[in-house]
Amino acid sequence: MKKQIGISLMLLMLIIAGCSKNADSSSDASSLISNPYSETEFLLGTVITIKVYDKDKEPALDKVFDRIEVLEQQMTANEAGSEVAEINEQAGKDPVEVSEDVWQVIKQGKDYSELAEGSFDIAVGPLTSLWNIGMDDARKPLQEEIDDILPLIDYKKIELDEAEQSVMLTESSMRLDLGAIAKGYIADEVIELLEEEGVTTAVVDLGGNIYVMGNQTSGDPWVVGVQNPFLPMGETVGRLTASNQSIVTSGIYERFLEVEGEIYHHLLNPQTGYPFEGELASVSVISEHSIDGDALSTLLYSKGLEEGLDFIQQMQDAEAIFVTKDKNVYITDGLAGNFELTDEEFTLIE
Residue positions forming the annotated binding site: 180, 294, 298
Residue 181 and residue 297 in contact, taking contact as beta carbons nearer than 8 Å: no
61: phi then psi, degrees, rounded to nearest 5: -65, -45
Q: Map residue 114 onto helix, strand or coil.
A: helix
Helix (H) or strand (E) holding 131: helix 125-131
Residue 117's alpha-carbon distances to 101, 122, 142, 287, 318, in angstroms, are 24, 12, 26, 22, 19
Residue 126's alpha-carbon distances to 35, 183, 187, 243, 273, in angstroms, are 45, 20, 26, 38, 10
User: 17, exposed or middle or buried, with CB in 10 Å at 0-12, 13-18, 19+?
Assistant: exposed
Residue 268 and residue 274 in contact, taking contact as beta carbons nearer than 8 Å: yes
Count of beta carbons in the 10 Å neighbourhood of residue 340:
10
Q: Map residue 185 onto helix, strand or coil.
A: helix
Residue 313 and residue 296 in contact, taking contact as beta carbons nearer than 8 Å: no
Of 73, 89, 74, residue with least CA distance to 125 = 89
Q: Which residues are annotated as a binding site for Mg(2+)?
A: 180, 294, 298
Distance CA 75, CA 72 (A): 5
